[in-house]
Amino acid sequence: MTPLVLFRRLAVAEATTWALLLIGMVLKYVTKTTELGVQVFGMVHGVVFIAYCLTTVFVAVNQRWSAGVTLLGLVSAIPPFMTVWFDRWAEKRRLLDGGWRLTSGGETPRSLPEKVQAWMLARPVAAVAVALLAVAALTTVALLVGPPASSST
């Protein structure tokens, strides 16, 4: 799987879960029929949001994105459907071209993020396990922190 394919799958998944959450919000707040959509799709969207952000950083390391491009990729997860826009924008600028440069026989990793990425690329099963644990840990933190507090005026 290339960086483009991995990134695109997560960008589309993030946008799809946004759509599902918005449908859930319409059912809860507009039609007042059920909160189930927000409860279920809110959690799904949160998990995919975190996975998208981790994937953005992982791909940014491989593609040597600038801090600005990486930040734009991360921020694109906040407004609905912007991850798909960012994916297309990055592809047009050839920011998703090529394969994994730090695989065995490829470039030598120099920085700590590159060394971590090279380790993960050399051990795909372990990498998936690490990624799942990272998503689970960050989701747990988000659940413990809770939603932003609403201010009363």
SS3 string of the chain?
A: CCHHHHHHHHHHHHHHHHHHHHHHHHHHHHCCCCCHHHHHHHHHHHHHHHHHHHHHHHHHHHHCCCHHHHHHHHHCCCCCCHHHHHHHHHHHCCCCCCCCCCCCCCCCCCCHHHHHHHHHHHCHHHHHHHHHHHHHHHHHHHHHHCCCCCCCC
- What pLDDT score was predicted for residue 123? 96
Mean pLDDT per 10-residue segment, the chain (153 residues): 97 98 95 92 95 98 98 97 98 97 95 97 96 96 78 49
Tell me, what's the pLDDT at 108?
96
pLDDT of residue 148: 61
Q: What is the largest CA-CA distance in the chain?
A: 61
The answer to whether the beta carbons of residues 57 and 82 sit under 8 Å apart is no
- Pairwise CA distance, residues 43 & 153, whole Å: 29
